[in-house]
Amino acid sequence: MALLLSVLEQGFIYTILALGVYITFRILDFPDMSVDATFPLGAAVTAMMISKGFHPLLTLPASLIAGALAGALTGFIHVKLHVRDLLAGIIVMTGLYSVNLHIAGSANVQLFLYNTMFKNPAVSALPYEVQTYVPVALIALLAFAVKFAMDAYLATRSGFLLRATGDNPTLVASLAKDSGKVKILGLSIANALVALAGCVMCQHQRYFDVSMGTGTLVIAVASVIIGTRLLSGLRFLGATLAVVIGSVIYKACVALALELGLSPFDLKLVTAALLLAIIVLGGNRKKVKRHA
Partner 1 sequence: MLELRSILKIYQGGTVNETCLFDDFNLTIPDRQFVCVVGSNGSGKTSLLNIICGSIPIDEGCVIVGGKNITPMPEYKRHRRIGRVYQDPGKGTCPSMTILENMSMADNKGKPFNLLPCVNRRKTEEYRAMLAQLGLGLEDKMGVQVGSLSGGQRQAMALLMSTMTPIEFLILDEHTAALDPKTAEVIMQLTGRIVAEKQLTTIMVTHNLRYAVEYGDRLLMMHQGHIEMDLAGEDKRRLQVADLLTRFNEISIECGN
* Closest to partner 1 by CB, 55 or 80: 80
**Cβ within 8 Å of residue 249, ≥6 positions away:** 11, 223, 226, 227, 230
Q: How far apart are CA 172 and CA 174, in angstroms?
A: 5
Beta strand pairing call for 108-110 and 207-209? antiparallel
- 109 close to 83: Cβ distance less than 8 angstroms: no
Q: How far apart are CA 41 and CA 64, in angstroms?
A: 10
* Closest to partner 1 by CB, 93 or 225: 225
Give the alpha-carbon dihedral of 151, 152, 153, 154, to 10 degrees: 50
170 binding partner 1? (CB under 8 A): yes
Q: Is 149 exposed, middle or buried (0-12, 13-18, 19+ CB in 10 A)?
A: middle
Q: How far apart are CA 282 and CA 232, in angstroms?
A: 10
**Residues in region 48-107 near partner 1 by CB under 8 A:** none
**Shortest spacing between CB 164 and partner 1, in angstroms:** 5
145 binding partner 1? (CB under 8 A): no
157 binding partner 1? (CB under 8 A): yes
Q: How far apart are CA 210 and CA 64, in angstroms?
A: 18
From 94, 108, 124, 174, residue interacting with partner 1 (rule: CB under 8 A): 174
**Shortest spacing between CB 141 and partner 1, in angstroms:** 23
Give the alpha-carbon dihedral of 173, 176, 178, 179, to 10 degrees: -40
From 155, 234, 256, 281, residue interacting with partner 1 (rule: CB under 8 A): 155
124 binding partner 1? (CB under 8 A): no
- 179 close to 29: Cβ distance less than 8 angstroms: no
**Residues in region 232-291 near partner 1 by CB under 8 A:** 289-291
**Count of residues near partner 1 by CB under 8 A:** 26
Bridge partner residues of 108 (DSSP) = 209
164 binding partner 1? (CB under 8 A): yes
* Closest to partner 1 by CB, 179 or 247: 179
* Closest to partner 1 by CB, 167 or 241: 167
Among 49-57, 148-156, 192-200, 247-255, which window interacts with partner 1 (CB under 8 A)? 148-156
From 56, 75, 89, 159, residue interacting with partner 1 (rule: CB under 8 A): 159
**Shortest spacing between CB 152 and partner 1, in angstroms:** 9
Contacts with partner 1, residue ranges (CB under 8 A): 153, 155-161, 163-164, 167-168, 170-179, 289-292
